Amino acid sequence: MQADGWRGLYSLFTGHEPTQEFLEPYMASILYFTINMATGVILRALSAAFLPPSIRGLAMDFVSTMETCAYFFENNFVLKHYGGLWFAIVIVIQCFVCSRTFGESSENPVKALHQLLHKEIPLTTALLKIFVQSLAGLASYRFAKLIWSLDLIEDHHERYYETECESDLHVALLVGFLLELGACLSETWLGLQTVSAIPIVDELIKYVNAATMITLGFSFTGMYFNPAMASGHTLGCEGTALPEHFFVYWVGPFIGCLVGLQLNKLLHIDVTESKGDKQKKTK
Say if residues 102 and 246 touch (Cβ distance below 8 Å): no
pLDDT of residue 12: 60
pLDDT of residue 22: 75
**Is the confidence at residue 2, as pLDDT, over 60?**
no
Quick one: average pLDDT of 250-263?
A: 97
> Cα torsion at 272, 112, 143, 204 (round to 10°)?
10
pLDDT of residue 232: 96
Quick one: average pLDDT of 54-82?
A: 97
CA distance 125 to 105: 14
Helix-helix angle 123-148:53-101, to 10 degrees: 60
Q: How many CB atoms lie within 10 A of CB 116?
A: 17
Identify the band that residue 256 occupies on the pLDDT scale cut at 50, 70 and 90. Answer: very high
Q: What is the pLDDT of residues 152-208, one digit of tens each?
A: 899 999 999 998 899 999 999 999 999 999 999 999 999 999 999 999 999 999 999
pLDDT of residue 122: 96
Q: What is the pLDDT of residues 77-112, one digit of tens each?
A: 999 999 999 999 999 999 999 999 999 999 999 999
pLDDT of residue 61: 98
Quick one: average pLDDT of 231-247?
A: 96
Q: How many CB atoms lie within 10 A of CB 218?
A: 19
Identify the band that residue 18 occupies on the pLDDT scale cut at 50, 70 and 90. Answer: confident
Quick one: average pLDDT of 49-71?
A: 97
CA distance 31 to 25: 10
The pTM is what? Answer: 0.91
Write phi, then psi, for 106 (nearest 5 degrees).
-120, 150
**Is the confidence at residue 280, as pLDDT, over 80?**
no
pLDDT of residue 5: 74
First to last CA, the chain: 66
pLDDT of residue 103: 94
**Is the confidence at residue 263, as pLDDT, over 70?**
yes
